[in-house]
């Protein structure tokens, strides 16, 4: 199932993205559901709209946190001139950094080196603490796509990564949450980041240093995870700068494509 949040008129609504039976020119529809699928059972309202006629928003606003993982692909660690950490290197992004598909990444005045980082994101579905790796699949609601936008200059200057990765708009998520992928499948997906349609990052999630179950076990060893919390699993090699006017897309096989424009702060 592909769970999206969308606006047609009024407040954002959750919905299930489906392939319409007639396979017409706009074959995808979104079927509205009542309530929040991360909070409890939901029901179809009966309303179905062409996907092309609605505006998707972030499929989840994390209740408490977005946890990022640094240098979880060996080739990315090498391009940063840094070692692969023996344990996951984790950081937090504020939930106010989350935006949805199509929403602008705002280039802050404080940086002159703004980077994209295409990543697979894990959406947590249950309250949990100290989850053993072999039970990690039980706490996953689904998988989505993230861009862990980073001010590379501030990351180096600050030492701590909070500001470099925490500006408003620095965590695009979407376009929806894929709940049908098993954990083994999620660990072997193709990832492609494109900048203005030029491929810049190509990898497979099987190249992660620390696997998805190991990341969930590690993160939940020190903090309680809540439904709607998101773990970003790290970016592969090929990170690079974006400027205002650029358009960045992250595609992950089995999920979809997350595209966001970059705008200057004055825009």
Site residues (CB under 5 A) for Zn ion?
A: 117, 148, 235
Min dist CB 63 to Zn ion, Å, is 21
Cα 209 to chain center, whole Å?
18
Q: In DSSP terms, which residues pair with 90 in a beta bridge?
A: 69
Distance set, CA 206 to CA 7, 190, 210, 211 (Å): 35, 9, 10, 8
Nearest-approach distance from CB 110 to Zn ion, in angstroms:
19
Least CB distance to Zn ion at residue 155 (A): 10
Strand bridging mode 247-252 / 190-195: antiparallel
- The residue (of 6 and 170) whose beta carbon lies closer to Zn ion is 170
Q: Which is nearer to Zn ion, 83 or 182 (CB)?
A: 83
Beta-bridged to residue 178, according to DSSP, are 2, 143
Residue number of the CB closest to Zn ion reads 148
Half-sphere exposure of 24 (CA within 13 A, CB side): 8
Closer CB to Zn ion, residue 148 or residue 229? 148
Structure-token pair, residue 181: 């992928």
Minimum distance from residue 164 beta carbon to Zn ion (Å)? 11
Tell which residue, 131, 226, 117, 99, has the closest CA to residue 164: 117
Tell me whether residue 117 or residue 229 sits nearer to Zn ion (CB atom). 117
């Amino acid at each position: 199932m592909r769970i999206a949040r969308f606006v047609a008129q009024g407040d954002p609504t959750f919905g299930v993205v489906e392939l319409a039976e007639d396979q017409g020119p706009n074959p995808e529809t979104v079927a509205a559901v009542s309530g929040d699928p991360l909070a409890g059972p939901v029901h179809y309202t009966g309303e179905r709209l062409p996907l092309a006629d609605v505006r998707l928003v972030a499929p989840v606003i994390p209740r408490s946190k977005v946890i990022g993982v640094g240098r979880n692909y060996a080739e990315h660690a090498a391009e940063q001139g840094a070692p692969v950490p023996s344990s996951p290197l984790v950081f937090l992004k504020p939930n106010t950094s989350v935006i949805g598909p199509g929403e602008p990444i705002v280039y802050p005045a404080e940086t002159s080196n703004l980077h994209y980082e295409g990543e697979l994101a894990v959406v947590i579905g249950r309250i949990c603490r100290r989850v053993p790796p072999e039970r990690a699949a039980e706490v996953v609601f689904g998988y989505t796509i993230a861009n862990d936008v980073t001010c590379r200059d501030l990351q180096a200057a600050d030492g701590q990564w909070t500001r470099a990765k925490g500006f408003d708009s620095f965590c695009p998520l979407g376009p929806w949450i894929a709940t049908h992928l098993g954990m083994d499948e999620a660990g072997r997906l193709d990832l492609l980041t494109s900048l203005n349609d030029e491929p810049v990052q190509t990898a497979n999630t099987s190249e992660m240093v620390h696997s998805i179950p190991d990341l969930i076990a590690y993160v939940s060893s020190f903090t309680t995870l809540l439904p709607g919390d998101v773990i970003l699993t790290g970016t592969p090699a090929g990170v690079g700068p974006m400027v205002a006017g650029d358009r960045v897309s992250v595609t992950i096989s089995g999920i979809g494509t997350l595209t966001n424009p970059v705008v200057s702060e004055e825009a």
